[in-house]
Every structure is written in structure tokens, then in C-alpha cells.
Amino acid sequence: MKNYIMNLSGSKKLAMVGLILGLVAVLLGNPYDNTFAKVNVKELSVEAIRDSEIINVKELAEWIIEGRVDYRLVDLRDEEAYKNYFIPTAVNIPTSKLLESNLMRNQKILLYCEDNIKAAQGWFILKANNYKGVYILNGGVESWKDEILFPSISANASPEEKIEFDKMVEVSKFFGGSPQVGETEGSKEIKMPKIEMPAAIPMNTSGGKPKREGC
């Protein structure tokens, strides 16, 4: 057997190697299998401590108003909640379907849910699967409501607070919200704006302009 192999020509040896690699490939099956993942725990814990992957709602509001398209906003809630209201430009991908979605590993992905916990779970799933730029919207939809749609100010606010609030009123109106002045909490029912897009915003489904590629 050994002699037989030694006596083969160079190209035949290469052909044998190719055949063996092919046979092994059959056993390995699919490189896309993402059921099991290997996690760099150290890297993840460092990122978790640094808070660098947390975006707050005001930043997001600015991005949407500016019409930025270099990120994808993902709503992790179920379909029903999404239909009821979603942050403009978001796409709905429930956590269980994250890995089957068409999100790309080189995209900037901003996750949100009702609160931070659910979003953090999605963040971990994506991070464990080697997605590079995954971010969490701090406070999720609740923060979006409190700070962007229905910002409130107490009647005895300082002048600085008032200037800040005036800015927020503009932002709030842009997204169809209604700013609250004084002690209105709980006194009347807050109505969610309809999920019609503000006309100025392009719907961001493509995940930004793809890099030039192909030949």
C-alpha cells in the first residue's frame, strides 16, 4: 500500500488529497450550521462592561431624522406588538428568528425590544454568531415613548431644562408624538401615533448602500 502511494505521480497524489478532503467535507456537511456557536467570553464581557454598544433613543432619533442608512434597526418584539407601533425604519425580526434573517455579519445592527433585557438576549445570540456591529437601544420602546414621543416637563423646570425641552418638542412632533407639559401623567389616555412614516424618511430595508462588488 505504502509503495503504491509512493509510486503515484505528483498530480495523482494531489488528486488523492482532493478526494480525501471531499470525503471529509461530506461528513462535515454545512458550514452554515449556526445551532452551536463558540463564544469568546472575555471579549463579550469586556464589551458588556464598556457599554460601548448601547445607543440611547435621542441618538437614534437624530439618525432617523438625518436619514442615515448605515445601520439596520431591528424590532425584536412579536408581530402583533410591531404592528401596533414600531420605531420608524425598523424591521420586525422576533428573537427566535434572528439567525434565519437576512442580517449580514458586517452590518451595523441596532436591536430594540420592550426593555433592555430582551434586547440583550438578542445581542448575545448575534454576538455569539460572529456578528460584528450589534448595538442595543437603551430602554427600548418604553424609553422611546418617554423621551421622544411623549417627553414631559414639570411646571417648575429650570430655564436650561426648558431650552432642552423645546428642542425635544420639535423632535417629538417629527415622529408624531405629543409633548406633555406639567402634571398630566395618568390624567388622560396617551394615544400612540399612527405608524405612518414621516414623509421625509426613506424606508431603510436594504441596510444601506452595498459596497461595490462583482466583476
Partner 1 sequence: MNAPFYKFDLFGFDVSLIIAFVIGIGFGFALERGGFGSARILAAQFYFTNMRVLKVMFTAIVTAMIGVFYLSYIGYLDLSLIYISDTYIIPQVVGGFILGMGFIIGGYCPGTSFVAFSTGKKDAIVFILGVTFGVFIFAELYPFIEDFYYSTNMGRVTLPDFFGLSYGMVVFLVILMALGAFAAAEWGERVMAKKGESK
Residue type, 168: M
Counting Cβ atoms within 10 Å, is residue 34 exposed (0-12), middle (13-18) or buried (19+)?
A: middle
Between residues 159 and 210, which has the closer beta carbon with respect to partner 1?
210
Q: Which of 1, 26, 155, 199 binds partner 1 (CB under 8 A)?
A: 26
Quick check: 155 binds partner 1 (CB under 8 A)?
Answer: no
Between residues 29 and 186, which has the closer beta carbon with respect to partner 1?
29
Quick check: 18 binds partner 1 (CB under 8 A)?
Answer: yes
Site for partner 1 in 92-131 (CB under 8 A): 104-106, 130
Quick check: 21 binds partner 1 (CB under 8 A)?
Answer: yes
Between residues 6 and 23, which has the closer beta carbon with respect to partner 1?
23
Size of the site for partner 1 (CB under 8 A): 24
CB 83 within 8 A of CB 44: no
d(CA 150, CA 146): 5
Quick check: 4 binds partner 1 (CB under 8 A)?
Answer: no
d(CA 143, CA 55): 12
> How many CB atoms within 10 Å of residue 143?
18
Quick check: 159 binds partner 1 (CB under 8 A)?
Answer: no
Q: Which of 132, 135, 150 is nearest to 186 (CA)?
A: 150
**Phi, psi angles (nearest 5°) of residue 85:** -160, 140
Q: Which of 10, 22, 159, 186 binds partner 1 (CB under 8 A)?
A: 22
Between residues 7 and 156, which has the closer beta carbon with respect to partner 1?
7
Quick check: 132 binds partner 1 (CB under 8 A)?
Answer: yes
Cell numbers that stand for 172 in this block = 417629538
Least distance to partner 1 from the beta carbon of 101, Å? 11
Q: Tell me the HSE value of 10 on the side-chain side, using a 13 A CA sphere.
A: 0
Strand partners, 112: 75
Q: How many residues does the chain have?
A: 215
Q: Which string of x and - marks every residue 181-210 that binds partner 1 (by CB under 8 A)? A: ------------------------------
The binding site for partner 1 (CB under 8 A) comprises 15, 18-19, 21-23, 25-32, 38, 104-106, 130, 132, 211-214
